Amino acid sequence: MASDIIQSLDFPDCRVVLFDWSANKDYRFENLACLNADGSLRWMAALPQDSGPDCFVGMALDNDQLRANSMSGFALWLDIQTGSALKTLFTK
């Protein structure tokens, strides 16, 4: 992925990174990834289905869980090992 990293969270065996969405022209830009300690890709987070044009705009630790926020107003709590959404909530 050629985009710049704008946010990063370190975990014991991986690093979750949020790539800059500002210059991207794609309809949907899945720009949240987890990298293994050796730099290889573990997973790319999937945006909520049917959210229209979208991308991830932020992430944070929320009670020791990874929460990612999308431009369309969704909060997703992700499994750090797989990137699968454990919970999705519309917040707007």
Pairing state between β 28-29 and 32-36 = unpaired
pLDDT for res 23 = 87
Query: What DSSP state is assigned to residue 66?
Result: E
Instruction: Report how far apart the first and last C-alpha atoms of the chain are (Å, whole number).
Output: 29
DSSP H or E segment with residue 8: strand 5-11
Q: What is the DSSP string of 67-89?
A: EEEETTSEEEEE-TTT--EEEEE
pLDDT for res 1 = 47
pLDDT digit string, tens, across residues 35-77: 999 999 999 999 999 899 999 999 999 999 999 999 999 999 9
Domain ranges of the chain: 5-90
Class of domain 5-90: mainly beta
pLDDT digit string, tens, across residues 11-34: 999 999 999 999 898 999 999 999
